[in-house]
Chain A
Amino acid sequence: MDKDRKTMLMNIMAEEFTAVELNLYLDTHPDDMRALNDYNETVKKLNDLKAQYQKRYGPLTNFGFATSEFPWQWIDEPWPWEINFA
Chain B
Amino acid sequence: MRGQSELELARAYIKIQEYTKRYSSMEGLQKGTIFPELYMPYEKHDKKERPPQPRKERDHDSWRFRGRGGWNG
Q: Interface residues, chain A, CB within 8 Å of chain B? A: 10-11, 13-15, 17-18, 21-22, 24-25, 29, 32, 34-35, 38, 42
Contact = CB atoms under 8 A, between A and B. Distances in A.
A29 B72 contact: no
Interface of B: 17, 19, 22, 24-26, 28-29, 33-35, 72-73
B72 A17 contact: no
A32 B19 CA distance: 8
Chain B contact residues: helix, strand, loop or mixed: loop
A38 B25 contact: no
Chain A contact residues: helix, strand, loop or mixed: helix
Contacts of B26: 10-11, 14
Contacts of A10: 26, 29
